[in-house]
Amino acid sequence: MNTSYKEATELVINQMRLENKTKKVALVGSAESTLHRTPWKDLDVEIWGLGWRGLPRANRLFDLHAPNFIKGQQKNVPLDYNERLNNAKLPVFLCEAQPDIEQSITYPLEEIRRFFGKDMDPFIEGDYFACSVAFMLCLAIYEGYGEIHLYGLDFVAKSEYAYQKPCMEYYVGVARGMGLNVYLPKGSALCEFSYLYGYEDAPEEGYITEKMLEERKAQYEKKRVNALALMHTADGALQEAKQLEDIIHHQKAGGKVYYDTSPDQHYSQVKDSKAKRKAEDPLPEGAVLSEEAIVKPIEGL
């Protein structure tokens, strides 16, 4: 009897699930609350990560955004993003494989939609995929990984990530309902609530408090200010080095360097010039630089 393409495909998938039943995979984000618990050194655990995150190691990368995001037209995407993905030499799952990303793979959307839709429950109407990591989790479930870990994935920020949390928790429940083991490390906010409803009094503040979030914001703002200050310092040093290099080339070519002011007058003019630039382009509050480091930033940064 001839085997249809669909039947052959199902046989391959079932064989893959059988082989993956004893395998472990860790899906990794960037939330500091649990990221440090990622088993980077345990090579028995596959690592799946997001393409734009720097990871110590990985087996697969994912970036499930519109093509214009991948091509670096979206804010915060580095211009050499495609080059970075190619240099990683890893399978990269995209909404649609791109010719300029050598190991890119088209995400099996239709198979996933069918598997988590009518095939799972005939009453399901529509799709429920709210983030890239939800697609990653669904693929791990679809491929039958027996143990799935989630690190650096909290979805508690006051942003788009907050509405993605219920979607992740839904698929954690789906995985557990299918008999798969899902490990949520200590400190994760997924599938957590701040008290036992009905049996305990509600705390004045939730599991994640406003104070905790404000403190975290302050920490990152301090890091941002310090990084910007460092950038200004490096830019000033680079400009000075280029000026000295020009003088050396000028002298090597037979030119002479004349100073029409005394050293004291020259220093005074430089000081006034730097003070003027500082007034025109003040550094962020909290950034402290030496007088010599205050320079005009590169246009466009």
Give every residue of the chain whose pLDDT is below 70, as ranges: 1-8, 68-77, 157-160, 204-209, 256-301
Rounded to 5 degrees, φ, ψ at 159 are: -160, -160
What pLDDT, on a 0 to 100 scale, did the predictor assign at position 92?
A: 94
Rounded to whole angstroms, the Cα distance separating 176 from 298 reads 52
CB 70: neighbour CB atoms within 10 A?
25
Q: Does the model's pTM come out above 0.95?
A: no
Nearest residue to 116 (alpha-carbon basis) of 166, 177, 165: 177
The predicted pLDDT at position 59 comes to 96
Which pLDDT score, from 0 to 100, does residue 295 have? 38
The reported pLDDT for the residue numbered 205 is 59
Query: What pLDDT, on the 0 to 100 scale, is given for residue 291?
Result: 40
Nearest CA among 217, 214, 236 for reference residue 225: 217
pLDDT score recorded for residue 156 = 76
Sheet hosting strand 60-63, strand order edge to edge:
104-106, 92-94, 60-63, 45-50, 24-28, 147-151, 181-183
Distance CA 177, CA 183 (A): 14
Residue 290 has what pLDDT? 41
Q: Which two tokens stand for residue 74?
A: 């979206």
> Which residues contact residue 46 at a Cβ distance below 8 angstroms, ignoring those fewer than 6 apart?
23, 24, 25, 26, 59, 60, 145
Residues in Cβ contact with 29 at an 8 Å cutoff, skipping those fewer than 6 apart? 35, 50, 53, 133, 151, 152, 153, 154
**pLDDT for 172:** 96
Q: 3-class SS at 79?
A: coil
**CA-to-CA distance for 223 and 243, rounded, in angstroms?**
30
The span from the CA of 1 to the CA of 3, in Å, is: 6
- List all residues 6 or more positions away from 234 whose beta carbon is below 8 Å from its beta carbon: none
Q: Tell me the residue type at 107.
A: Y
Helices (H) and strands (E) in the chain, counts: 9, 7
List the beta strands (DSSP E) in 64-159: 92-94, 104-106, 147-151
N-terminal to C-terminal alpha carbon distance within the chain? 66
Angle value at C-alpha 164, between 197 and 130, nearest 5 degrees = 135
Element (H, E) at 285: none
pLDDT tens track for 50-70: 988 889 999 999 999 877 666
Give the span between the Cα atoms of 229 and 301, in whole angstroms: 13
pLDDT of 266 reads 55
pLDDT of residue 140: 96
Contact 174, 116 (CB under 8 A): yes
- pLDDT at position 204 is 67
φ, ψ (nearest 5 deg) of residue 65? -130, 170
